[in-house]
Amino acid sequence: MKYVAEFRDAALARRIADNIAHDADPSRDYRFMEFCGGHTHAIARYGVADLLPANLRMIHGPGCPVCVLPIGRVDMAIRLALARGVMLCTYGDVMRVPASDGLSLLRAKARGADVRMVYSPLDALQLARAHPQREVVFFAIGFETTTPPTALALRQADQEGLENFSVLCSHVLTPAAITHILEAPEVADSSSVPIDGFVGPAHVSIVIGSRPYEGFATSYRKPVVIAGFEPLDVMQAILMLVRQVNDGRAEVENEFTRAVGREGNAFAIAAMADVFEVRASFEWRGLGQVPASALRIRERYAAFDAERRYDLAYRAVADHPQCECGAILRGTRTPTQCKLFGNVCTPETPMGSCMVSSEGACAAHYAYGRFRDIPVVAA
């Protein structure tokens, strides 16, 4: 298949691995964070970590939309479905996220709630058209990748005057999360979890472009290389990061030139700006409250905002006390350092969100079991 097989070529992978081993300075360590769960998955699935020199470690970042969804937001959706009787539509992964009182959306469905899995917000729109007597709520989650479709669905609902459709908006923003990680005390303190650079997300960057990362290079002196999700993409990005670090450079480089440009997708950016505005603060699972890191629906589309429509209030809920998702999402722990990993917590019985999503670090470790663990200095 074009643009897939050639990015999984074993001989090329060995050549890039040789170049990384050749260029990596044995007198120092390299620690790069792959922000995105798609990269975590590729690194685990293709054994990329096994091809890296011992002094180069990859740290998993919080770029898995299901993993960073706080319990309190899932509780809001469950309350809507169970207590308010709405038809609650969302993506498949979200349905399994453990919430309060032993519930998840899937378990709420087993109790009689009308919870439906959809592939797109347009599916939810179609359900609203088909069931005019029902209230249909789309539980929207994800980074800038899934935000434009939600924006277009809201515009479409507005144009059609659909009165039984609304959105519970939980979309979050990538650059704000990277800023938060760089400013976290345990990361800023280089004796704890040094991060020498970032592998930047692919599909988010198709939407927002490479420009929003430039501040990380100029203000924080952290190299960023935007990479695709195939193993050779990730390995090439790692090589580019090693070379930046060796040269003392901190730049935004783009390995994923076949899809990402500096300015992004102007149509998608305009649609998002039309429908959404930035929230003052938003809770991320694992990161806590992060300023200016999420979106809410603008007043112009208030009629389609489930939070306003149902007068929903957010209540923060603590994670399972032994779940290390928070530390994993901040890059300070690894999945196997969690006592519940692989025994109590498995993909069939997930205790935390990092095991629910196939992009989560715990699920990747469990599925492929090939990661070398990163020695972590306790925060």
Q: Token pair for residue 363?
A: 């699920």
Residue 173 interacts with ligand SF4 (CB under 6 A)? no
Residue 150, CB half-sphere, CA atoms under 13 Å: how many? Answer: 32
Question: In the range 233-292, which residues lie near ligand SF4 by CB under 6 A?
Answer: none
CB nearest ligand SF4: which residue? 352
Question: In the range 92-151, which residues lie near ligand SF4 by CB under 6 A?
Answer: none
* Cα-to-chain-centroid distance, residue 139: 16
Q: Which of 324, 329, 331, 364: binder of ligand SF4 (CB under 6 A)?
A: 324
Q: Taking a C-beta distance cutoff of 8 angstroms, is the pair 334, 328 a contact? A: yes
Smallest separation (angstroms) from ligand SF4 to the CB of 221: 31
Using CB under 6 A, count the residues that bind ligand SF4. 14
Question: In the range 336-365, which residues lie near ligand SF4 by CB under 6 A?
Answer: 338, 340-341, 345, 351-352, 354-355, 362
Output the CA–CA distances (angstroms, integers) from residue 144 to 204, 294, 314, in the order listed: 5, 10, 22
Smallest separation (angstroms) from ligand SF4 to the CB of 194: 22
Residue closer to ligand SF4, measured from CB, 254 or 332: 332
Which residue, 325, 364, 329, is CA-closest to 49? Answer: 364
Per the listing, tokens 């519970």 go with 168
Residue closer to ligand SF4, measured from CB, 169 or 364: 364
Residue 323 interacts with ligand SF4 (CB under 6 A)? yes
Residue closer to ligand SF4, measured from CB, 64 or 232: 64
Beta strands in 131-229 (DSSP E): 136-142, 165-171, 197-200, 224-226
Residue 325 interacts with ligand SF4 (CB under 6 A)? yes
Q: Which of 240, 335, 357, 359: binder of ligand SF4 (CB under 6 A)?
A: 335
Q: Taking a C-beta distance cutoff of 8 angstroms, is the pair 7, 236 a contact? A: no
- Give me the helices (H) in 198-322, please: 203-208, 214-218, 231-247, 266-275, 306-309
User: What residues are paired with 341 via a beta bridge?
Assistant: 345
Q: Which of 328, 329, 331, 334: binder of ligand SF4 (CB under 6 A)?
A: 328
Site residues, ligand SF4 (CB under 6 A): 323-325, 328, 335, 338, 340-341, 345, 351-352, 354-355, 362
